[in-house]
Each structure stands twice: as C-alpha cells, then as structure tokens.
Amino acid sequence: MITLDELGVEISNMVDDYAQDIIIKLEERLDETAQEIVKYIRSNAPRSGGSKPFADSFIAEPQGSGINKSIVIFSNEKGKLTHLLEFGFTHRSGKYVGPRPFMRPAYDLLTPKMLEDIKRIIEKGDD
C-alpha cells in the first residue's frame, strides 16, 4: 500500500523528469533552427571578401542553458559590415548602395516553424 505522501513525491518526480526531457528537446530544436538560419545566411549573404567571403563568417553562438538558453547569430570576422549590407548605405562618393537583406529573411522564414515545434513539444512532448 502506498501513502498519499509517497504518491505525491512520486508524481512530483515524474513531472520533474518529464520537464527535464522537454527542456532537452527544446534545446535541440533551438540548435537545429540556429544551424538552419546560419546555413540560409551563408547561402544568401554576399560572397564578397576574397579568400574569406563575408557569407562564410557567420556563426551561431549559444548563451546560457536549459530554459534560459539563447543563440546569437553574427559575423565573427566582418560584423561591422552586416548592417550596411542588410539595410543599404550611401557610399562616401555619394552613390547609394541598396539593401541586400539576408538575416531578416532567414529569421522570417525559419522562426515560425520553430515556434510551432516548440509549442507542440511543450503541449505534447513530441519531437
């Protein structure tokens, strides 16, 4: 026979285990999306830069862990150019260089699916 206290402890342990499994699944999905975004950026960003193309300088860097994990995506070598290429700029000569967006389209394309997956994982525990 099991007491109510023992039952409460066992249910609490089961909920904790389930929550830890969900956190792992959420972290994995976040990592997958970050890699998809980097891949998209690398294929759509300008290839200028000679032997070290701008497009190849993007990385995904995780920060934190568990429910506090976030991933920052940036150019680790040519970050000072990113906003100029993404939004356009006026050259010193006065010539306007139009925008060539590659970061925002990646976010707009891939983030909604990730959010749907996260919602499904939280609600149903699915992969």
Calculate mean pLDDT across residues 106-117.
93
pLDDT of residue 48: 80
**Residue 31: domain span:** 4-124
What's the pTM?
0.81
Distance, in Å, from the CA atom of 103 to the CA atom of 75, rounded to the nearest integer, reads 11
Distance, in Å, from the CA atom of 64 to the CA atom of 75, rounded to the nearest integer, reads 20
Q: Is the alpha carbon torsion for 54, 108, 120, 19 positive or negative?
A: positive
Report the percentage of the chain scoring pLDDT > 90.
57
Number of domains in the chain: 1
pLDDT of residue 7: 85
* 71-102 pLDDT, tens digit each: 999 999 888 889 999 999 999 999 999 999 99
* 6-33 pLDDT, tens digit each: 888 889 988 888 888 999 999 999 999 9
pLDDT of residue 81: 87
